[in-house]
Amino acid sequence: LKAAEILKNEGLDAMVVNISTLKPIDEDIILDAAKCKAIVTAEEHSVIGGLGSAVAEVLSEKMPTPMYRVGIRDQFGQSGKPEELLKLYHLTAQDIAEAAKMVKNR
């Protein structure tokens, strides 16, 4: 929500969707979001095998759409304070907003 607010302040509208379960994945909401012409997934989890992967699978088969997965890249996790970890792994609202700006230009 904070990333959407950042984007709104820069003149960009963003649709925010909360996908709380991966199985079964809500294909209808993903396809509805794809009408925006770009998708960014954001999760405090590995981008491998998580929400981003599940969304990519739906899009690749049903509606190819530029997307970017914000999450922990293929690396071991660290321990620390939540705010420090969000910065370390580029998971802040600003990081999500930057990913949205980047993927919309693809």
For the chain, list the domains and their CATH numbers.
2-104 (3.40.50.920)
pLDDT tens-digit profile of 57-81?
999 999 999 999 999 998 888 899 9
Structure tokens at 50: 């998580």
Q: What gap in Å lies between CA 51 and CA 105, rounded to an integer?
A: 22
One pLDDT digit (tens) per residue for the chain, 106 residues: 999 999 999 999 999 999 989 999 999 999 999 999 999 999 998 999 999 999 999 999 999 999 999 999 988 888 999 999 999 999 999 999 999 999 988 8
Residue type (1 letter), 105: N
